[in-house]
Chain A
Amino acid sequence: DAKTTQPTSMDCAEGRAANLPCNHSTISGNEYVYWYRQIHSQGPQYIIHGLKNNETNEMASLIITEDRKSSTLILPHATLRDTAVYYCIVRATGNTGKLIFGQGTTLQVKP
């Protein structure tokens, strides 16, 4: 699975959009981009995933560049409860489901 690079930390004001970037320049054609988050003292939580099209669900939007070498997770209206470590993970189609975590981005949402 391809390696990902994320900023170590980011701040966001409560109520504003949080845009978390991820670089995955070595991504292969059969690899999906997944996002998970880990709120303090909890297990990781699935957010969203995509292959090449932009995706949106009730939690977030995922924007993948046309060359698929980078992506952005968007939390449209961040709340204090969104403070967490956000992990961008690249995983191949047909992979058994195991996830290789990088260091992630610590998002601090401030009042």
Chain B
Amino acid sequence: SAVISQKPSRDICQRGTSLTIQCQVDSQVTMMFWYRQQPGQSLTLIATANQGSEATYESGFVIDKFPISRPNLTFSTLTVSNMSPEDSSIYLCSATGGNTEAFFGQGTRLTVV
């Protein structure tokens, strides 16, 4: 089955800085998604990463804060901009394609200090 690799796996960042998270799938997929999981909480969908066009954001999430790129069928990035401690979460990439149900990366554990 397809595998998602996320980089970095974890990071500790200073408030006010930005972090870009990479998501690489080892096969072509149709759709890619980004989720946030705050401490002790369930997953919340941030956006759908669209190839070659602007991402589709869910309510409560905006492009200025979470710019997303998807230059091809296997790669996407999520940037968490101007970070504050409230952005401390696990960020997860997901993908789906063909007959494959949605699968997930292991996540990026972000701590903002």
Contacts and interface: CB of A to CB of B under 8 A. Distances in A.
Contact of A98 (B33, B105, B106, B107): B33
A57 to B, nearest CB: 11
B104 A49 contact: no
A34 B31 CA distance: 18
B45 interface: yes
> On chain A, which size bracket covers the interface?
10 to 19
A99 B103 CA distance: 11
Q: For chain B, what secondary structure do more than half of its interface residues adopt (helix, strand, loop), or is it mixed?
A: strand
B33 A45 contact: no
> On chain B, which size bracket covers the interface?
20 to 34
B106 A102 contact: no
A49 B100 CA distance: 12
B45 A42 contact: no
Contact of A43 (B48, B92, B101): B92
A29 to B, nearest CB: 20
Interface of A: 34, 38, 42-46, 49, 85, 87, 96-104
11 contacts: A34-B101, A43-B94, A43-B104, A44-B104, A46-B102, A49-B101, A87-B42, A97-B94, A98-B45, A99-B43, A99-B45
